[in-house]
Amino acid sequence: MKTKTAKIIFWSGAIFMSLWFGASGFFELTKNPVVWDITRQLGYPPHFIYILGVFKLSGILVLLLPNRLLRLKEWVFAGMFFDIIFAFFSQIAVLGFPATIDAIVAFTVLSITYLMFRKIYHPETIFGEA
* Element holding 130 (H helix, E strand): none
pLDDT tens per residue across span 73-118: 999 999 999 999 999 999 999 999 999 999 999 999 999 999 999 9
The one-letter amino acid code at 49 reads: I
Q: Please tell me the distance from the alpha carbon of residue 114 to that of residue 72, in angstroms, as a whole number.
A: 13
Is 130 a residue whose pLDDT tops 50? no
Q: Please tell me the distance from the alpha carbon of residue 89 to that of residue 94, in angstroms, as a whole number.
A: 9
The one-letter amino acid code at 101 reads: I
| 103-to-2, 76, 90, 93, 94 alpha-carbon distances in Å | 29, 17, 10, 14, 14
CA distance between the termini of the chain? 24
How many Cβ atoms are within 10 Å of 87's Cβ, its own excluded? 22
**pTM for this structure?**
0.90
| 94-to-15, 34, 61, 87, 97 alpha-carbon distances in Å | 30, 17, 31, 10, 9
pLDDT tens per residue across span 22-76: 999 999 999 999 899 999 999 999 999 999 999 999 999 999 999 899 999 999 9
Task: Find the helix packing angle between 46-63 and 33-41, rounded to 10°.
Answer: 120
pLDDT tens per residue across span 3-13: 899 999 999 99
